[in-house]
């Protein structure tokens, strides 16, 4: 591992990138329950507050963090405090570098832990009707994995779950939740409902014990063919909104409905 003296000798930009990398290493080690060298961590933090690229506000913020950490110095096994300190310091430096991370770059504890046993699997199917954004497709896979979806059905024009952005936002869920490409005309003969404006409010909707939830395109919504089919089955469910926009990101909206469906059947 690099020494504090060697760290101080690096050029400013290289030093800052190296500090960010070291802090990320401390975070992941703590999350994996490895002991942390808190004295070395404090040394890194002192080097960081002297970076020439920082403005006075950033230096003061780092100094405050370091003082608080030193005053209440945790033991090497107090992982939560160490992780929070490293995370705060690392993101100050990333903002200064104009290198703030995307959602999939974040270190999410739950995504690093292996869950014992098996996931709940309900008789829930999800049909993605021409979703164009790989990020949204991946995010929906991640949510579907959490809320018992048995299988995700994709229209022929939905973005591939193997697109690099879909894989990144799915955070591994593409390898957990089964999926297949199915034309709308060949959907399984199951109760069918869609997430769309103008339907039954979420709180009043009667969810089936099993069936297919149709989620439509970000741009044009659910196709007329599927709107007609859902109307002959369970109809539409809508999320009441109080904002000026009058709409939600499709992955967010799907997550709200899936959570409600799961909660009605798993209680």
Q: For the full predicted model, state whether its pTM sits above 0.85.
A: no
Same domain, 154 and 223: yes
The whole-number pLDDT of residue 107 equals 58
Q: Are residues 97 and 119 in the same domain?
A: no
Q: Are residues 157 and 223 in the same domain?
A: yes
pLDDT digits (tens, 9 = 90+) for 171-221: 889 999 999 999 999 999 999 999 999 999 999 999 999 999 999 999 899
- The last residue of one of the domains, among 110, 130, 160, is 110
Assess whether 153 and 198 both reside in one domain. yes
Same domain, 125 and 245: yes
Question: Which range marks the domain in which residue 213 is found?
Answer: 114-266
Residues 136 and 207 in one domain: yes
For residues 168 and 204, membership in a common domain is answered with yes
pLDDT in tens, 11-50: 989 999 899 888 888 887 776 656 567 888 889 988 998 8
Whether 99 and 172 share a structural domain: no
3-class SS of residue 183: coil
Q: How many domains does the chain have?
A: 2
CB distance 113 to 195 below 8 Å: no
Asked whether residue 125 falls in the same domain as residue 246, the answer is: yes
Q: Are residues 162 and 57 in the same domain?
A: no
């Amino acid at each position: 591992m690099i020494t504090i003296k060697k760290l101080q000798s690096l050029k400013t930009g290289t030093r800052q990138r190296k500090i960010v990398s070291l802090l990320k290493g401390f975070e992941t080690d703590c999350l994996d329950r490895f002991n942390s060298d808190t004295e070395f961590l404090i040394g890194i933090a002192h080097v960081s507050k002297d970076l020439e690229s920082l403005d006075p506000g950033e230096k003061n913020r780092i100094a405050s963090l370091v003082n608080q950490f030193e005053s209440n110095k945790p033991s090497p096994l107090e992982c939560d405090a160490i992780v929070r300190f490293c995370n705060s310091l690392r993101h100050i430096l990333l903002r200064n570098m104009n290198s703030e991370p995307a959602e999939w770059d974040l270190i999410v504890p739950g995504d690093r832990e292996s869950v014992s046993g098996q996931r709940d699997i309900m008789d829930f199917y999800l049909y993605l009707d021409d979703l164009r954004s790989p990020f949204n497709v991946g995010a929906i896979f991640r949510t579907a994995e959490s809320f018992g979806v048995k299988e995700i059905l994709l229209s022929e024009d939905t973005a591939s779950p193997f697109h690099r952005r879909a894989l990144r936002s799915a955070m591994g869920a593409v390898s957990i939740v089964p999926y297949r490409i199915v034309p709308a005309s060949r959907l399984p003969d199951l109760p069918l409902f869609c997430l769309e404006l103008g339907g039954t409010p979420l709180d009043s909707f009667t969810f089936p014990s099993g069936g297919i939830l149709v989620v439509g395109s970000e741009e044009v919504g659910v196709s007329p063919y599927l709107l007609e089919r859902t109307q002959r089955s369970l109809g539409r469910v809508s999320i009441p909104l109080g904002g000026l926009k009058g709409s939600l990101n499709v992955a967010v909206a799907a997550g709200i409905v899936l959570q409600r469906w799961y909660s009605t059947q798993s209680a």
